[in-house]
Structure 1
Amino acid sequence: MPTQLLSAEQSTALGTKPHYAILDGLRGVAALMVVVFHLCETHATSHLDQVINHGYLAVDFFFLLSGFVIGYAYDDRWNGMTLKEFFRIRLIRLQPLVVLGMLIGAALFYFQASPAFPAIGQVPVWKLLLVLAIGCTLLPVPLSMDIRGWHEMHPLDGPGWSLFYEYIANLLYALGVRKFSKTALAALVVLAGAALIHFAVTSKGGDVVGGWSLEPTQLRVGFSRMMYPFFAGLLLSRVATLSRVKNAFLWCSLLLVLVLAFPRVGGAEHLWLNGLYDSLSIVVLFPLVVWLGASGHIARPGTARLCKFFGDISYPIYITHYPLIYTYTAWVSATRPTWQQALPVALLTFVTAVALAYACLKLYDEPVRKWLRRKLPVMQ
C-alpha cells in the first residue's frame, strides 16, 4: 500500500485524502540543491562557469509542484470553502516563515559588510527596520530602498521574491483560474509555455535566471517563470492518470539532481541552446518528474521517513538559508579563498542551513501555525 504525505498544511486541509510522500521528498531534494547552488554561485565568475549550473531551475520546479498540490488539495473543495478560508489557509502555511526569514536576514545584515556588499556600512538602522517591516508583509520594496545593492525586492532574504509570485499565483487561482475548464486551462498553459520558451531562448543570458527585482525586465522574468509551471502543475493534477512506479523516489531524485546539476549548454557562442535546455526542463522534464513521483509508492519505512524529513525541512530551508549565503558571500569576498580553502566553510554553511531549518520548523513554524489555526480556525 502506498505511503503518501503532502505538507503539514495539506494534511490539515485534506483530512483523510491520500497524500503524496514522494512529492514531499522531491521538494526537499530540490531545496537542498538550491543551497548547494547558491554556495557554488559565490565562487562563479558568470553563469557560464557556475557549478551545479542549473540549480536556479529548482524555483520553476517548486512552482510546478505547488500548482499540482494546490489543484489536488482544493479543486474539489470550493462548494464548502470560501475565498477567505482559502487565503487564511495559505497565509497560515506560508507567512510565519516569511517573517522569520526576514528577521534572520536583519539579524545578520551588518555582519555582511564586505567588498561584495559595500553599501551595507552606510545603511542606517531606521532604514533596515523599515525594510524589515515591509519584508515581513512580503510586499516588494522599491529600488530606492535597495539596502544591499543587488536590486532585490527583498534585500534581507532574497528568496522572498518567489514567495511573492507564489502568492500572486494563488490569487489568480482562487479568483478565477479555479473555474477554468480543462480546455481553457490547457489554452492558458500553452500560451504561458510559449511565452516562457520565447523568453528563455531570446534572453541576454541564455537562461531564465531572474525575477527578484521590481525592474520591468525582471518582472517579465518573474511572471514568465511563474505562469507556465504553476498552471501546468494545476492542469497536471486534473488530467493525469497515475500509474504505479517502483522506486519512484530514487529515480525521480536522480533525474531532478541531474537536471539541476547539468553543465551549461551551448557556451557563450550559442546562448539560445541553454535557453532551449531550460525550456525542455521546465516544460517537459519537471512535469514528468511530478507525474512519476505522484505515481510512485514507498515500500520501505526508511524511505518514508526520509521523504517526510525532506518535506518537513524543504520550505524552512528555502526561506531561511539565504541570509547564511549572504554571510558566506561576504566572507569569500573579503578573504578571497581558493575553492579548496573555502570548502570546509561551505560545508559548515550547508550543515548550518539544514540545522537552522529544522530548528525553525520545530521551535517556531509548527507551534506558530498550530496557534494560528486555533485563533483563526479553518475548515477541515
Structure 2
Amino acid sequence: MSHSHARIQPKQHFEILDGLRGVAAMMVVLFHICETWNGGDHAKQIINHGYLAVDFFFMLSGFVIAYAYDSRWNPTNGQPGMTLWDFFKRRVIRLQPMLIMGNVLGALLFYFSASPKIFPIVATTSVSRLILIALIGCTVIPIPISMDIRGWQEMHPLAGTAWSLFFEYIANIAYALGLRKVSNRVLMVLAVLSAALLTHYLVTTPRGDITGGWSVNAMELKIGFLRLAFPFLAGMLLQRMHKRIHVRNAFLWCSLLLVVTFILPRFGTTASLWMNGLYEAMVIIFVFPIVVAMGAGEQISGRTATHLCRFSGAISYPLYITHYSLIYIYTAKVYDGKLTPMQGVTWGAALFVTAVAIAYACLKLVDEPVRRWLNRRFLVTGTTSL
C-alpha cells in the first residue's frame, strides 16, 4: 500500500454535535430572513445574535478536526502515517462539492435579485462577468471589492456565507502545517491570547458585536481572523483534554442553550455598546465550550431524537452554504416594497422550507454521491472523509 493511500479506520461520529451544527444552521437561515426587515439594525432583530452560529461552527470544526486527525499522523501497526497531501485531499472532498454547488445555485438565481434599491448593479452585470465570479467562487479564493457584482462588497457575492469557508480552509491549513504539532500548553496560551484579543475587540468596537469577516479589506479580515482563532483553538483543546459533560437529553438541552443565546435581546444602548460586546465574548468563550462538551459527552438516544439529530446534521452544511441565494431574492423583494409585512412572513416561511428542501436535494443528489465517488477515486475504499 502506498504512503499516500494509507488505510485509515473510520472513527466514531459525534451525532449530537452534528445535530447541533444543523440547529445552528437553521438559526442562521432564520436570522437572515429576519435581518432583511430591519435594515441591518441588529437592535431590532428578533434573532439578535444569530451570526454567532458561525463562531460556534469554528469551535465544532476545531474539535472534530483534532478528534479525527490528531492520531493519524504517526505510523501505526506497520502502516505509514497520514501525509499532508492525504489530509488536504480529505478536507477538499468534504468541503468543496457543496461550495461549488452554492456558487452554481447563486449564479443561476443571480438575476432574480436585481433591485434598484438594494442591488442596483446586478441588472448591469454581464453574463461573462457572472461566470468568471462563479468560477473564482468555486475555488474559495476571495474576490477583491473592486470585482464586486452585487454591491455588498462580499468576497463571495454568489454564495454570501462562503466567507466562513475561506477561513475554515485557513484553519485547516494552519492545523496541518503547525497546530497539530504544538503541545496542549502552547495551545492553551494561544487560546487565552486569542480570547483576550477577541474580548478587547468586542468591548471596544463601535459595531457593538462580532459581525463581519466577509470582505477583503483590512478591518473585515481582522474580524474574520478574530472570529476564527479562539473558537478553533478552543475546540482543539476541548478534544485533546477530553473535556466532556454528561447530561441526559444533551441534544435537547444544547439546542435550547444555543437558541436562547441567539435570541436574547441586544444588551446595552448605543451609549453602552460594550455591554453587548461583552455578552457575545462570554457566549463564545464560555457558553459554546460548555455546549460542545455537553454534546460530545452523550450519545443520542430515542428514535425520534435520533432521526431529528441525524437529519439536522446531514443537511447542516448544504443548508448553510446554499440558502443565501434565496435571501438575496427575498431581500430585493422587501426593499423594493413588493411585500407587505404579512406577505413577508408568509414568504419568509416559504423561504425557510424551500431552503431546507434544496439543502436535502443537494445532499442526496450532489454532496453524498459526489463525495462517495471522490472517496473511491482518491482515497482507500472503506474510509470516509471527515
Q: Normalising to structure 1: TM-score of the pair? A: 0.95
| Equivalence for 1:313 | 315
Choose which of 199, 202, 206 in structure 1 pairs with 2:201: 199
Q: Secondary structure at the match of 2:123?
A: helix
Structure 1 residues 108-150: Cα deviation after superposition (integer angstroms, max 9, x where no partner): 1111111210111111111111111100001000111000010
State yes or no: 1:31 paired with 2:33.
Answer: no
User: In 1, distance between residues paired with 2:276 and 2:209?
Assistant: 6
| Equivalence for 1:4 | none
Counterparts in 2 of 1:140-289, with a 5 A limit? 140-289=142-291
| Equivalence for 1:354 | 356
User: In 1, distance between residues paired with 2:30 and 2:129?
Assistant: 31
Structure 1 residues 312-336: Cα deviation after superposition (integer angstroms, max 9, x where no partner): 0000000000000001101111225
Q: What is the aligned-residue RMSD (CA, Å)? A: 1.3
The 8 Å contact of residues 48 and 264 in structure 1, kept in 2 or not, is answered as yes
Q: Secondary structure at the match of 1:213?
A: coil
1:178 deviates by 0.3
User: In 2, distance between residues paired with 1:243 and 1:139?
Assistant: 38
User: In 2, distance between residues paired with 1:243 and 1:279?
Assistant: 22
Choose which of 42, 67, 73 in structure 1 pairs with 2:68: 73
State yes or no: 1:294 paired with 2:296.
Answer: yes
State yes or no: 1:364 paired with 2:359.
Answer: no
| Equivalence for 2:104 | 103
User: In 2, distance between residues paired with 1:66 and 1:223?
Assistant: 15
Structure 1 unaligned residues grouped into runs of 5+ = 1-11
Q: Secondary structure at the match of 1:137?
A: coil
User: In 1, distance between residues paired with 2:111 and 2:175?
Assistant: 39
| Equivalence for 1:121 | 123
1:200 deviates by 1.0
Q: Secondary structure at the match of 2:100?
A: helix
Choose which of 135, 140, 143 in structure 2 pairs with 1:133: 135
State yes or no: 1:64 paired with 2:59.
Answer: yes
| Equivalence for 1:48 | 43
The 8 Å contact of residues 8 and 72 in structure 2, kept in 1 or not, is answered as no
User: In 2, distance between residues paired with 1:312 and 1:101?
Assistant: 16
The 8 Å contact of residues 246 and 297 in structure 1, kept in 2 or not, is answered as no
Structure 1 residues 232-288: Cα deviation after superposition (integer angstroms, max 9, x where no partner): 100110113324320111110000000111111112121110000110010000000
User: In 2, distance between residues paired with 1:288 and 1:21?
Assistant: 17
User: In 2, distance between residues paired with 1:297 and 1:141?
Assistant: 42
Structure 1 residues 168-191: Cα deviation after superposition (integer angstroms, max 9, x where no partner): 000000000100100000011111
| Equivalence for 2:95 | 94
Q: How many residues align?
A: 368
Identity fraction in percent: 56
User: In 2, distance between residues paired with 1:36 and 1:26?
Assistant: 15
The 8 Å contact of residues 200 and 272 in structure 1, kept in 2 or not, is answered as yes
User: In 1, distance between residues paired with 2:321 and 2:132?
Assistant: 20
The 8 Å contact of residues 34 and 58 in structure 1, kept in 2 or not, is answered as yes
Q: Secondary structure at the match of 1:76?
A: helix
The 8 Å contact of residues 48 and 268 in structure 1, kept in 2 or not, is answered as no
Q: Secondary structure at the match of 1:228?
A: helix
Q: Normalising to structure 2: TM-score of the pair? A: 0.93
C-alpha distance 378-266 of structure 1, shift in aligned 2 (>3 A): farther
Q: Secondary structure at the match of 1:29?
A: helix
User: In 1, distance between residues paired with 2:96 and 2:189?
Assistant: 32
